[in-house]
Amino acid sequence: MLIGELAERAGTSPRTLRYYEEHGLVRAGRDANGYRQYDDGELRVVHEIRTLLASGFGLDDIRPFVECLRAGNSAGHVCPDSVAVLRRKIAEVDDYLGQLTEVRQRLHDQLDQALENRSDPQETRCRTRR
Amino acid sequence: MLIGELAERAGTSPRTLRYYEEHGLVRAGRDANGYRQYDDGELRVVHEIRTLLASGFGLDDIRPFVECLRAGNSAGHVCPDSVAVLRRKIAEVDDYLGQLTEVRQRLHDQLDQALENRSDPQETRCRTRR
DNA sequence: GGTTGCCTTGACGTTGGTGTTAAGCCGTAG
DNA sequence: CTACGGCTTAACACCAACGTCAAGGCAACC
């Protein structure tokens, strides 16, 4: 499988695949003419990468998952290193969720305050839900 | 007030203040020697900027708040334009909170699954709280 | 005159994940 | 011969909010 085919099958671009390779995530052999030749298993690797990227992981965080897959495991997250990253990421997400919640509260307070100072005090307050 | 003094009083750097000016947020007069001369009110403007930045606003989003302050209002968020940005930002944060929550759920599911496949089934499950 | 410490503009570096040329090789088809 | 599509590497462009030199002017003090 050449790079264009893998890119299309994985829903991404050749440029992106080369970038992953450059960062040690995707592996490719070479044809006699220098073209990258991909193993069928790489499609799964690329899917794993894109899924984790979409979840907010960085490429460095993803490496353990790929190595886990490459080691023959059924899923990328069953290895100790992956689990460690998983725990760390969950903690990060939790932390970020907390911060965002605080920010949301502040913004709501400001909005309420701005609406209260409005010149039409027909309804005392209009607090939005959630 | 020169740039260094304002920077220190606002808890930031001269470079940052020049950057804000470049983006039309902070205003400065010029001394005969070319030095920026800041009005006392600018301290408040800079504080407003830094507060909003910390809440995840971009400089473009912040502009209405600064103009609102500059128009003589007691707070930057009482003007219609500011309120509009505020509403939009709240919606963005809500959306992001939703996405993050989903991601968190996925990560947790993966973690649980990884732990279940562990070779020591001493405790059936170990679901973390929150 | 020299040093120190402010200030000035200009411009490149950072972080991540690509998009987008540019210049060129490979192979096939007309 | 030429055109065309796919591949190669190299390298700049992007977004945001600055940090960090670089090279130089201005002001005060010794």
CB A59 under 7 Å to nucleic chain C: yes
Name the residue with higher pLDDT: B129 or A97: A97
Report pLDDT for A115.
85
Question: Per DSSP, what are the bridge partners of residue B29?
Answer: B37
Residue pairs between chains A and B whose CB atoms are closer than 8 Å: 80
Is residue B81 over pLDDT 60?
A: yes
Is residue B33 over pLDDT 70?
A: yes
Report pLDDT for A118.
62
Burial class (CB in 10 A: 0-12, 13-18, 19+), B104: buried
Average pLDDT of the residues in B49-55? 94
Specify the fold of A3-116.
Multidrug-efflux Transporter Regulator; Chain: A; Domain 2 (1.10.1660)
Per cent of chain B over pLDDT 90 is 78
Q: What is the pTM of this model?
A: 0.84
CA distance A42 to B68: 55
**Chain B residues lying within 8 Å of A97, measured CB to CB:** 97, 100-101, 104
The dihedrals phi and psi of B34, each to the nearest 5 degrees, come to 95, -5
Structure tokens at B12: 């930031």
Is residue B51 over pLDDT 70?
A: yes
Report pLDDT for A127.
47
Q: Among B67, B117, B106, B30, which Cα is nearest to A86's? A: B106
Please tell me the distance in Å from A79's CA to the nearest CA on chain B. 8
Task: List average pLDDT for each run of 10 residues in chain A, which is 130 residues long.
Answer: 96 96 95 95 96 92 95 93 93 91 92 76 45
Please tell me the distance in Å from B1's CA to the nearest CA on chain A. 30
Q: Among B105, B50, B54, which Cα is nearest to A86's? A: B105
For testing contact with chain A, the best of B51, B104, B106, B109 (most A CBs within 10 A):
B104
> What's the whole-number average pLDDT of chain B?
89
